[in-house]
């Protein structure tokens, strides 16, 4: 606990917070499209630099973000006298220097670089899909990818899922592993804690009435009496519907 008190900062930056219109799982017509969402404790979004083009300076400390499981690092730039947020990597300490769009070779923890300036075999996170865009890949706690091969225009990266994908060599990534690696081992203490997080209860289909679910109804406890199906009667629990498991190399001249 002493170590956490030395690293963590409790009051967030007022200038980097803003409100957010939560849909609670509903579309523009008010119909539920994502089930079991809603309620939850009030929270504000943090303005996080995911492009990592200009944020650099000294790490003041880490902060808890209510919108994600990973921690945030507050970086103070002594030149501009401004504070910014980035997704914190593991083993980041107060007083470390953070640079963005760096051209240095090596394994500097938390430094963002283009893939052409990162050594082959390095571990990265916060990877953007194309040059100049926000980091979309490898942002979950403990997530990281690895650069396996590079050409003049492309870089082959193994993602956390085990999938191999080719990216433009000018896209930006960050050295390191996303912080809060042990977040998946956290157990909720009570049902109310799940409601704080905005998660509503899940009801089994066999516990419903026949009008609400195909598995519902029957005398006593039943197992549904039919193959598993969705509330609309479509088959489920079958083979995977995700067809894009393998990302082939794009038609780009090397």
Q: What is the pLDDT of residues 91-140, one digit of tens each?
A: 998 999 999 988 877 788 999 999 999 999 999 999 999 998 999 999 99
All CATH 4.10.950.10 domain ranges of the chain, comma separated, are: 203-254
> For residue 186, which of 141, 137, 129, 233 has the smallest C-alpha distance?
141
Coil, helix or strand at residue 167: strand
C-alpha 162, offset from chain centre: 16
CATH class of 2-182: mainly beta
Superfamily of domain 203-254 in the CATH hierarchy:
Ribosomal protein L2, domain 3 (4.10.950.10)
Residue intervals of the chain classified under CATH 2.40.50.140 are 2-182
- pTM as predicted: 0.82
pLDDT for the residue numbered 105: 76
User: Does the pLDDT value for residue 3 go beyond 50?
Assistant: no
Contact 169, 151 (CB under 8 A): yes
Per residue in 147-184, pLDDT tens?
999 999 999 999 999 999 999 999 999 999 999 999 99
Give the residue among 54, 53, 55 at the shortest CA–CA distance from 132.
53
């Amino acid at each position: 606990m002493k170590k956490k008190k030395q690293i963590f900062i409790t009051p967030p930056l007022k200038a980097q917070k803003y409100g957010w219109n939560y849909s609670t799982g509903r579309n523009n017509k008010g119909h539920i499209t994502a089930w079991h969402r809603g309620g939850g404790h009030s929270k504000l979004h943090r303005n996080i630099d995911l492009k990592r083009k200009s944020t650099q300076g000294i790490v003041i400390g880490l902060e808890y973000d209510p919108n994600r499981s990973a921690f945030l690092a507050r970086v103070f730039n002594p030149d501009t006298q401004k504070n910014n947020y980035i997704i914190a990597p593991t083993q980041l300490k107060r007083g470390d220097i953070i640079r963005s769009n760096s051209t240095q070779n090596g394994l500097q923890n938390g430094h963002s670089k283009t893939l052409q300036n990162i050594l082959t075999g390095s571990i990265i996170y916060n990877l953007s899909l194309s040059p100049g865009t926000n980091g979309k890949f490898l942002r979950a706690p403990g997530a990281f990818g690895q650069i396996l091969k590079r050409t003049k225009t492309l870089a082959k990266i193994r993602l956390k899922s085990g999938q191999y994908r080719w990216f433009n060599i000018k896209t930006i990534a960050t050295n390191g592993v996303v912080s809060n690696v042990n977040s998946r081992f956290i157990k909720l203490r009570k049902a109310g804690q799940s409601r704080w997080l905005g998660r509503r209860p899940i009801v089994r289909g066999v516990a419903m009435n026949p009008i609400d679910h195909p598995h519902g109804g029957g005398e006593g406890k039943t197992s549904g009496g039919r193959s598993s199906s969705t509330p609309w009667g479509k088959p489920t629990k079958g083979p995977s519907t995700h067809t894009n498991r393998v990302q082939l190399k794009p038609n780009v001249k090397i």
